[in-house]
C-alpha cells in the first residue's frame, strides 16, 4: 500500500505511566543522565521510527517529592542526540510565550545543521501559572493572548528561517568571496508583541527550516495547527473521537490552502505489550497499584489551572458538574476537554479517572499482545483516525524494546510500516514537501 504509518517515540521520564519510575522494569539510570536518552533514541532508530520527541515544562511541579517530574532541557538534549544518532528525526518543545523569536530560530536552525536535517520544533504557548511567575509574567497571559502572540512569533521565526537563499554561501577561498550578500535579506518584522530586524545570522538549514509540530486541540489550537503544523500530536482516548478530530483538522488544513497529507495527525498511544493478554493486564494492574491517587489528584488540579478537587471522595461517581468549564480554563484547554468528555461518556468514579490518567495523562492506553496492539494500530490507521502514532511506552526502555522487537515486525509484514529509511531527513521520513523560499524564481 502507498500510505504507511508514521511513528514518533515520546521519551518521558522512565516511561509514561505515572508510577513507571518505581517499577523494576524501568531504567535504573537517572533522568538527568544523557546516556539514558541516547540509548533510548538509538533503540528507536533501530526500530526505524520517524522521530523522537521531548516535551518540556518551565516550572517545577509541586509533586516532585513523589517522582521525577522534570528532566533535562530538551533543546540541549537534542544536541547530544544529533551526534549519537544518524537517521531518526529529533523534535523538542519550545515556548512561544517565554522565548524570543530570534533566539529560537537560531537554536533550531543550528540543530538542523548539526543533525544534517533531522530537527522539528513542537510549538507550545505554555499554560502553567508557575511558569508565568518564573518569567516575570503576573498575571498569567490568557489563552487568547497566548495564541495571538504565537501567530506573531511564527511570522517572525518563519521570516528568519527564510532570510537566506539556499545558494547564499559561496565559500570561494581563491576569490575571497564567502557569501552572496544579495541572497541574504532582512526580515523587518514589526508586530504588537515582537519586532525582529533580521536576517538570521546563519544560513538556510538543510530542510529549508525545521519541521513544525503542534499539540493543541482546543478550537484555537486547531485553527493554529491548520495554518502551520506539519505534524499534530493529539490526545484521543477513543477511536470515534480520534476520527472526528482527524476529519475536522484535515478539513481545516484544506481550507487554509494546504494539502492534507502535509499535516500528519499522530494520536498518543501508550501500549503495554506482553506475550498474553492476561500477562499484559497483570502488568497494567501492577503499575496501577504503584500509583498514588493523591498525586493524581494534585496533577489533575494543576491540569485544571489550580482547581481544588480535594473535596471529592475517591469512590464518588463523577459528573461533568464536578469540573470547571473547559472553555473558562486558561491552562491546557484541549486536555481538560478530553477529561470532561471522558466523564460524560463513561460511568466512572474519581479513583477510576485517576487510574486512567495515570497511564498516559489522557492519551489512549492499551494492554495486550503484540498482535492485538498491531490490530488496534491498523484499525485506527485504516479508519482515518490517525496517520500514525505518538508512541508513549508506559515503561522505558522495556516496553520500547518489546514494541520494536515484536510489534513493528507485524506492521512491516502487513505493509504498514517501512523496512528501511528511504531518506536522511525528518522531512523525508514524514513525506513533507520542501518549504517555499522567497528566493525561488
Section 106-116 average pLDDT: 98
Question: Once rounded to an integer, what is the mean pLDDT over residues 329-344?
Answer: 72
User: Which tens digit of pLDDT belongs to each residue from 208-243?
Assistant: 999 999 997 888 889 999 999 999 999 998 999 999
pLDDT score recorded for residue 216: 75
Q: Specify the pLDDT at position 342.
A: 78
> pLDDT tens digits, residue range 143-168?
788 889 999 999 999 999 999 999 99
Q: Which helix (H) or strand (E) holds 216?
A: none
Please check whether residue 336 is in contact with residue 303, taking contact to mean a CB–CB distance below 8 angstroms.
yes
Lowest mean pLDDT among 104-113, 126-135, 258-267: 126-135
CA distance 85 to 79: 10
Q: To the nearest whole percent, how much of the chain has pLDDT over 90?
A: 69
Report pTM: 0.90
The string of pLDDT tens digits covering residues 340-352 is 877 888 888 888 7
Strands (E), 298-412: 364-368, 388-391
Considering only residues 362 and 12, tell me which one the structure prediction assigns the higher pLDDT: 12
Q: Residue 271 above 90 pLDDT?
A: yes
Long-range contacts for 36-40 (Cβ within 8 Å, ≥24 apart)?
37/11, 37/72, 37/77, 37/80, 37/81, 38/80, 38/81, 38/84, 38/85, 39/397, 40/9, 40/11, 40/396, 40/397, 40/400
Backbone angles phi, psi at 349, to 5 degrees: -90, 170
331 falls in which pLDDT band (50, 70, 90)? low
| Dihedral Cα 36, 39, 42, 44, nearest 10 deg | -60
Q: Which of 22-31, 196-205, 348-357 has the lowest mean pLDDT?
A: 348-357
Residue 137 has pLDDT above 70, yes or no: no
CATH T-level topology, domain 6-273+362-430: TIM Barrel (3.20.20)
Angstrom distance (rounded) from CA 67 to CA 387: 33
CA distance 179 to 315: 69
User: How much is the mean pLDDT over the chain?
Assistant: 92
Buried b (16+ CB within 10 A) or exposed e, 121-132: bbbbbbbbbebb
d(CA 48, CA 405): 11
Instruction: Work out the average pLDDT over 399-417.
Output: 98
Helix axes 333-345, 350-360, angle to 10 degrees: 130
Residue appearing with cell numbers 504503584 = 290
276, with CB counted inside 10 A (0-12, 13-18, 19+), is exposed
Look at residue 382 and tell me whether its pLDDT is greater than 70: yes
Q: Which residues lie across from 8 on neighbouring strands?
A: 51, 390
DSSP state for residue 197 in the 8-state scheme: -
Burial bucket for residue 267 (CB in 10 Å: 0-12, 13-18, 19+): buried
Domain boundaries, the chain: 6-273+362-430
**Residue 62 pLDDT:** 76
Per-residue pLDDT tens for 66-86?
778 788 999 999 999 999 999
Amino acid at each position: 500500500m502507498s500510505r504507511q504509518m508514521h511513528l514518533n517515540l515520546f521519551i518521558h521520564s522512565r516511561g509514561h505511566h505515572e508510577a513507571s519510575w518505581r517499577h523494576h522494569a524501568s531504567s535504573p539510570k537517572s533522568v538527568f543522565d544523557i546516556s539514558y536518552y541516547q540509548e533510548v533514541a538509538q533503540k528507536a532508530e533501530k526500530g526505524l521510527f520517524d522521530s523522537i520527541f521531548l516535551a518540556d515544562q518551565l516550572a517545577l511541579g509541586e509533586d516532585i517529592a513523589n517522582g521525577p517530574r522534570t528532566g533535562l532541557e530538551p533543546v540541549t538534549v537534542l544536541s547530544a542526540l544529533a551526534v549519537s544518532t544518524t537517521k531518526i528525526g529529533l523534535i523538542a518543545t519550545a515556548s512561544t510565550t517565554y522565548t524570543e523569536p530570534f533566539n529560537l530560530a537560531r537554536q533550531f536552525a543550528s540543530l538542523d545543521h548539526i543533525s544534517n536535517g533531522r530537527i522539528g520544533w513542537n510549538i507550545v504557548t505554555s499554560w502553567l501559572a508557575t511558569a508565568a511567575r518564573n518569567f516575570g509574567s503576573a498575571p498569567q497571559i490568557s489563552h487568547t493572548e497566548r495564541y495571538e502572540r504565537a501567530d506573531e512569533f511564527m511570522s517572525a521565526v518563519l521570516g528568519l528561517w527564510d532570510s537566506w537563499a539556499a545558494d547564499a554561501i559561496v565559500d570561494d577561498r581563491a576569490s575571497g568571496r564567502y557569501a552572496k550578500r544579495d541572497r541574504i535579506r532582512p526580515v523587518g518584522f514589526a508586530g504588537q508583541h515582537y519586532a525582529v530586524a533580521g536576517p538570521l545570522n546563519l544560513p538556510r538549514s538543510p530542510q529549508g527550516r525545521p519541521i513544525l509540530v503542534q499539540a493543541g486541540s482546543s478550537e484555537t489550537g486547531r485553527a493554529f495547527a491548520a495554518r502551520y503544523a506539519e505534524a499534530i500530536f493529539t490526545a484521543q482516548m477513543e477511536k470515534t473521537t480520534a476520527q472526528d478530530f482527524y476529519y475536522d483538522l484535515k478539513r481545516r488544513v484544506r481550507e487554509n490552502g494546504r494539502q492534507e497529507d502535509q499535516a500528519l495527525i499522530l494520536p498518543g498511544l501508550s501500549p503495554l505489550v506482553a506475550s498474553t493478554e492476561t500477562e499484559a493486564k497483570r502488568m497494567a494492574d501492577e503499575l496501577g497499584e504503584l500509583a498514588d491517587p493523591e498525586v493524581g489528584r494534585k496533577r489533575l488540579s494543576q491540569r485544571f489551572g489550580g482547581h481544588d478537587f480535594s473535596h471529592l471522595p475517591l469512590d464518588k461517581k463523577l459528573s461533568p458538574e464536578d469540573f470547571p468549564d473547559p472553555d473558562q480554563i486558561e491552562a491546557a484547554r484541549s486536555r481538560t476537554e478530553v477529561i470532561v468528555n471522558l466523564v460524560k461518556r463513561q460511568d466512572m468514579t474519581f479513583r477510576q479517572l485517576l487510574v486512567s490518567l495515570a497511564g498516559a495523562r489522557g492519551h489512549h492506553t492499551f494492554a495486550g499482545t503484540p498482535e492485538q496492539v498491531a490490530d488496534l494500530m491498523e484499525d485506527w490507521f485504516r479508519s482515518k483516525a490517525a496517520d500514525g502514532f505518538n508512541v508513549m511506552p508506559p515503561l522505558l526502555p522495556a516496553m520500547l524494546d518489546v514494541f520494536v522487537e515484536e510489534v513493528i515486525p507485524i506492521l512491516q509484514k502487513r505493509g504498514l510500516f517501512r523496512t528501511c529509511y528511504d531518506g536522511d531527513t525528518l522531512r523525508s521520513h514524514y513525506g513533507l514537501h520542501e518549504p517555499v523560499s522567497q528566493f525561488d524564481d
